Structure 1
Amino acid sequence: MENRGHYWVGVGFVLLSAFCFACKGILIKLAFRYPIDPIALLTLRMAFSLPFYLAIGQYLNRAEGPVTLSRREWLTLAAVGITGYYFASLFNFIGLLYISASLERILLFVYPTFVLLLNAIGFGRRVTRQQLLALLLTYAGILLAFVGNIRLSTQQDVALGAFWVILSGLVYALYLVGSESVMRQLGSQRFTCYAMIAATVPTLIHGTIASGTALFHYPTTVYWLGVLMALFVTVLPTFMMAEGIKRVGASNTSIIASIGPIFTIGLSTTILHEAISWQQLVGTGLVLSGVFLTSWRRTKRSTYVPD
């Protein structure tokens, strides 16, 4: 009974984290109604997140002892953190200038197939028939959802937005593949703290150069949206996801978290009043089926939902 309760608490953590991550596109779209560009919004998100990661990282250092990494390992940690949380996030924010939040979340779930392909190409891992079927389902679903979105969209350059979001998924896949060795040494929670701290540095530099003092002159609502993004789609879900992985396992976490696009579709229709086509709904089902097959019996990773 205790083990069952332990498991279901983990399921709850994963579902909550998936819901929080699903809110990201909604909050970004709401912020883009004001005169703010992607790098400035990302800068606010990371700046508001930084104190939490510094405090949590310090607490984990006291609780788990000092970190013993070589210089090369520190550089690797910084590189993968910047890749996963600066480049991938920036590309994702840019993509949301052009496409709906619901399509963004569907496209972003292409990243498990990128992880599969990168492991096959870079490490010679065999791709099974089940995984090939997962690839076909995922890309068929994305194509169908994309076609449905073009028919409904009133925005221009939907293809450009899709390019940036898919590129974000590819970069995030590179982050996942590159982070395995260092993450095993640090643990997922401490690794997340250090990776986020590393990514904050180039984000703040880029944001300061691009926006300058304009960072301090946005409407108050923009800063509140930045705080919400920092807390509820960055800090809290990353640690809830890590706890969920600990309790239910990595494969189960991947499968449960794939409900994220469903959450986003519901939120985008109720809050942003985005129209959803039947092609998007069917495409979402195909993508989730592909993610399910890709995630089945997956080896352990730090997190499975791009931020």
Structure 2
Amino acid sequence: MSANVAGIDIGNGHLKMALYKKGEARLVSARLPRNLVNDGVIIDHQAMSRFIKKVKQEHHINASACALVLPDSFSFFRHVSLPAMTEDQLELNLPYEFRDYISGDAKSYFYDYAVKETIYNDAGVPEKIELFAAAVPKSTISEYAGILRRAGLKLKVVLPREMAYVSLLKDYINRNPLCFNQEFCIINIGNLITCIDIYKGSTHVASKVLEFGCHDIDTAVAKVKNIDPFIANSYVQSNYEDVLSLPESMAVYNRISVEIMKVINFYNFSNPDSNLQDIYFCGSGAECSQLTDTIDKQTDKKTYSIDTLAPPSVAGSDSLAACTLALAMAMGL
């Protein structure tokens, strides 16, 4: 496949890359070397560059540029309501909307926004604007650009997770126009965290990050088997000695499920007009049927794999669950 721009998602456990062109995709999920990323922080930039370059070569990823999902630990995303103003005024005011979230000099951050809605008064004059706004340290962008440049990739686009899914949802709605007003709950079960994002159509509505993920399963298995969690992950991936059915593993599934349902129940309580019916699983944890089955049993919502939302030619791909964000980034270009 020939595509100039690759979607990239660098997680805590895996590097995910995606190429997308004319409905066809190539997806790659490669396990990161031990201790290369710790709590979202890339420990060795040179080693990460070499690893990305190696994965590109092994999987024949010929892209010269990339679109990157911003790490949750370094980016801030907000829904913002402001009086109607010019672009210059907005550029001046936007940093103040993040004053309770960022540390240090506000000028050391990049800010960007997308207009959700412009509200007009009875005379047809703009009165208020609803925005999606994001902030990220300039140093973070510089570091990632350097890592990717050494790997042979020019950083072209960066987006927070919340906005990355929009391209995937727009594509699905284009193929299913009657779903333009449907509510979607996407649950991305990652290595260290589980991210819950709710959309109405392709418009982001709410999100929550839980400090639970696949690493908790690895840790539980490691304690039972008396092995290192990094080694335990290989047991989990292959379900060696049926470790996914251990009582300790089941306890982790239940804990994650309970926390997810708390979030969804709170959303329903806070939004009494909501008609949220559908949950879609992605992330590496979505590949663990024992975990997704446990969540399914604890909710009255319908649950699906992310294949349901993906382009038909991509649905069923082995790495789709893990590579969903990378694919969404590639689809948006």
Q: What's the TM-score, normalizing by structure 2? A: 0.28
- Which protein, 1 or 2, shows the higher relative CO under an 8 Å CA cutoff with sep ≥ 6? 1
More strand by share: 2
Q: What's the TM-score, normalizing by structure 1? A: 0.29
Q: Greater CA radius of gyration, 1 or 2?
A: 2
